[in-house]
Amino acid sequence: MYKEELYLVVDIPPEKSAYVFRIDTIWNPTYRLINYGPLPIQANQPLKSFIGTSVTAPANGALAPMSYIEGIEFPLQNVYNLSDMWDVPSSFLANRLFVVEQTVTPEFLRVNAYIPINTVQASFQGNKLSLKISDLWGWKRGKFVMTHFPDILVGYNYANDTSFPVYTSVKFKYWEYVVSIPSDPAIIFNILADFIPEKIVRRIAYPIVTLAPDLKNQLQRLYGFFGFPLPSIERRAEYERKYAEILASPLVRESYLARAGGIR
Amino acid sequence: MKYLFPVYGATNGTATSGTVPLNSHFTVSSVNYISIPQGIKAKIWSVRISGAVVNFQIQFTQNVNTSTPTWVTVENISLASAGEVAIDKSRKPTVLEGKNGNEAIQIVWSQSTAAVSYIILDIEFTDEDD
pLDDT of the residue at A217: 94
Q: Of B51, B122, B123, B44, which Cα lies nearest the Cα of B85?
A: B51
Please determine, for residue A7, whether its predicted confidence score (pLDDT) is greater than 50.
Answer: yes
Instruction: CATH number of the domain at B114, please.
Output: 2.60.120
Nearest CB to A164; choose among B2, B27, B101: B27
Nearest CB to A141; choose among B1, B27, B28: B1
pLDDT of the residue at A232: 95
Neighboring chain B residues of A68 at a CB cutoff of 8 Å: none
Range of the domain at B31: 2-126
Q: Of B59, B74, B42, B56, which Cα lies nearest the Cα of B118?
A: B56
DSSP per-residue string spanning B87-116: EE-TTS-EEEE-SSS-EEEEEEEE-SS---
Which tens digits make up the pLDDT trace of A85-99? Answer: 999 999 889 999 999
> A1: pLDDT confidence band, cut at 50, 70 and 90?
very low
pLDDT of the residue at A264: 80
Distance from CA of A142 to the nearest CA of B (A): 7
pLDDT of the residue at B91: 78
DSSP per-residue string spanning B40-69: PEEEEEEEEEEESSEEEEEEEES-TTSSS-
Three-state secondary-structure class, residue A88: coil
Asked if B26 reaches chain A (Cβ–Cβ under 8 Å), the answer is: yes
> A18: pLDDT confidence band, cut at 50, 70 and 90?
very high
Tell me if ipTM is over 0.85.
yes
Cα separation, A9 vs A14, whole angstroms: 15
Check if the beta carbon of residue B63 is closer than 8 Å to that of residue B70: yes
Domain count for chain B? 1
Task: Indicate yes or no: CB of B31 within 8 angstroms of CB of A164.
Answer: yes
Asked if A136 reaches chain B (Cβ–Cβ under 8 Å), the answer is: yes
Q: Alpha-carbon dihedral of residues A115, A118, A124, A126, nearest 10 degrees?
A: -80
Size of interface A-B (CB pairs under 8 A): 58
Asked if B33 reaches chain A (Cβ–Cβ under 8 Å), the answer is: yes
Task: Indicate yes or no: CB of A162 within 8 angstroms of CB of B34.
Answer: yes
Distance from CA of B29 to the nearest CA of A (A): 7
Distance from CA of B26 to the nearest CA of A (A): 5
Alpha-carbon torsion (A111, A114, A119, A123), positive or negative? negative
Stretch among A98-107, A117-126, B86-95, B105-114 having the lowest mean pLDDT: B86-95
Cα separation, A253 vs A260, whole angstroms: 11
pLDDT of the residue at A4: 75
Residues 6+ apart with CB under 8 A from A77: none
For strands B41-51 and B94-97, give the pairing.
antiparallel
Q: Where are the domains of chain A?
A: 7-25+181-259, 33-175
Asked if B34 reaches chain A (Cβ–Cβ under 8 Å), the answer is: yes
> B90: pLDDT confidence band, cut at 50, 70 and 90?
confident
Neighboring chain A residues of B24 at a CB cutoff of 8 Å: 106, 164
Task: Indicate yes or no: CB of B3 within 8 angstroms of CB of A58.
Answer: no
Check if the beta carbon of residue B37 is closer than 8 Å to that of residue A161: yes
Neighboring chain A residues of B42 at a CB cutoff of 8 Å: none
Cα separation, B78 vs B58, whole angstroms: 11
Which of A134-137's residues contact partners 24+ apart within 8 Å by CB, and which partners? Answer: A134/A48, A134/A50, A134/A68, A134/A159, A136/B38
A62: left (phi over 0), alpha (psi -120 to 50) or beta: beta
DSSP B21: P
Task: Indicate yes or no: CB of B35 within 8 angstroms of CB of A165.
Answer: no
pLDDT of the residue at A198: 85
